[in-house]
Amino acid sequence: MSDVGPGSSGNVLAALCSFLIPGLGQLLQGRVIMAAVQFALAGVLWFFLLGWLIHFWSVIDAARWTPAS
C-alpha cells in the first residue's frame, strides 16, 4: 500500500480501530508490542478512571504513525 503516513486512509482506519479498543489500530499497523502496551495500560488505568488518557494517546499515535523506510 503506497498510501502511508499521517492522514492516509490506513492511518485513519487504524485511528478508528484504536478509538474502539486501545491498541487495535497499532495491531492493524503491525506494531504488536505497542498494541500490547497500550491495551494493558488502558486496562489498568481505566481501573482508576484514567484510562481515557491512554485511549486518547492510542488514537493519536495510530493516526500520526509513519513507517520507517
Residue-level pLDDT at 5: 55
Q: Where are the domains of the chain?
A: 9-63
What is the pLDDT at residue 6?
A: 56
Residue 36 has what pLDDT?
A: 95
Q: What HEC string does the chain produce? A: CCCCCCCCHHHHHHHHHHHHCCCHHHHHCCCHHHHHHHHHHHHHHHCCCCHHHHHHHHHHHHHHCCCCC
pLDDT per residue, tens digit, the chain (69 aa), is 445 555 567 888 999 998 889 999 999 999 999 999 999 998 888 888 887 888 888 888 888 888 876
